[in-house]
Amino acid sequence: MRSSGPQVVLVRHGETEWSQSGQHTSFTDLPLTPAGEKQAKSLCESLKSWKFTLVETSPRKRAVRTAELAGFKGCAIENSDLSEWNYGAYEGMTTAEIRKTDPGWTVFGKTPPSGESAAEVAIRCDRLIAKIRATSGDSLLFAHSHILRVLIARWLELPPEDGRHFVIQTGTMGVLSYEHESPVLLSLNATQFRQGRRL
């Protein structure tokens, strides 16, 4: 069943070497792997007939390339608010490596040195949500795991730290919308769907 209001399709970029290895990737501009390119291309069939009022992407190469391969070359507007969480000194490190000197660390629980706090990421997400809600029709966003997890939490009117409850695989789609007046998460980690319905 289609939801009660406009829908927001969230796309996490295809696989990169660091997403495969679990290294935190914010401002490091990595390309997609061949598998990541294949993931991005596979989204085209689900998205090609969908009419979007707003199409935006993170300015990072991996997100821009995913948008291009998904059929939105020249259509997706770059928006720095969709950039991945800034991991600061922990850029390029895995959680296991970070925890050797910072036991129990997660990005949702503790601000990385010289990086962004959850509250700062939430400010960016709130700006995105305000823009989406001021737009008539459906929206499509190409971005990254942690920023999208906070965006989902904020859409659901939860604190940004609750993004820890959502896991988003590379090259997959999610859908935010409404049931009556309540914001809802309709779908997550879909690899294909029809408009308004996950397959």
The CATH number given to whatever domain includes residue 55 is 3.40.50.1240
What pLDDT is stored for residue 84 in this prediction?
Answer: 98
Which residues does the annotation mark as catalytic? 13, 84
In a domain, 110, yes or no: no
2 pLDDT above the threshold of 60: no
199 pLDDT above the threshold of 90: no
In a domain, 113, yes or no: no
Structural domains of the chain, count: 1
What pLDDT is stored for residue 20 in this prediction?
Answer: 97
In a domain, 107, yes or no: no
Domain that holds residue 27: 8-86+118-198
Classify residue 63 as exposed, middle or buried by CB count within 10 Å of its CB (0-12, 13-18, 19+).
Answer: buried
What pLDDT is stored for residue 130 in this prediction?
Answer: 97
DSSP 82: G
Structure confidence at residue 151 as a pLDDT band (50, 70, 90): very high
Q: What percentage of the chain has pLDDT greater than the value 90?
A: 91
Asked whether 60 and 29 are in contact (CB, 8 A), the reply is yes
Token code pair at residue 166: 């959502």
In a domain, 49, yes or no: yes
Look-up of token digits 């604190």: 159
In a domain, 33, yes or no: yes
**Rounded mean pLDDT, 13-36:** 98
In a domain, 98, yes or no: no
196 pLDDT above the threshold of 70: no
In a domain, 31, yes or no: yes
In a domain, 108, yes or no: no
CA distances from 155 to 59, 139, 184, 195 (A): 22, 14, 8, 20
Interval 29-39: pLDDT, tens:
999 999 999 99
pTM (2 d.p.)? 0.95
CA distances from 71 to 5, 40, 44, 189 (A): 24, 9, 6, 19
